[in-house]
Amino acid sequence: MTGSTDLSAPASAADGAPPAPRELRHAFAGFATGITVVAALVDGRPVGMLANSFSSVSLDPPLAALSFARTSTTWPRLRRVPQWGISVLGEHHKADLARLSRPASARFDGVTWKTTDHGAVFLDQVTTAFQVSIQTEVDAGDHVLTLLRIHALHRSPTAAPLIFYSNQLHGLGTARL
């Protein structure tokens, strides 16, 4: 391994205090994530939000995880329905991000989506789609860590993912290392 990172005296450790939220957010921005939309039909309308905290947890049983901020107004509405769709966005969804960032009542206006018989909502032409339900919830400070049981999935063989890194959007295209 070349190079090194000196963690012996991080900036916030000088006074024994934990990292400040701003410092922590900046550090987390150094970890690339995909961008997902978690959504379901609630009272006959699509309800959902962008999330980049999605991660794999277990192959057997099939589990994934998402973290929801306790301040979210969308999260309590999603909790009321039995199944959700998780759409992993591709590079071609970049134009949808502004729409999906609007207030909840207008979030899906102008966005093409479909639903399952169980009420899970998916955006069209996603790189990967997961149909999930809540397995369990874990108190995680200002968030709720939600373990999700995966019931069904689909992965596009050709779609390139949209990546969020250093507070900016990136694409992978077809380049491989």
Question: What are the pLDDT digits (tens) for 135-171?
Answer: 999 999 999 999 999 999 999 988 889 988 888 888 8
For residue 55, is pLDDT > 70? yes
- CA distances 156 to 31, 87, 102, 126, 173, Å, are 24, 11, 27, 7, 14
Please give the pLDDT value at position 5: 56
CA dist 78 and 137 (Å) reads 13
pTM score over 0.95: no
CA dist 46 and 69 (Å) reads 20
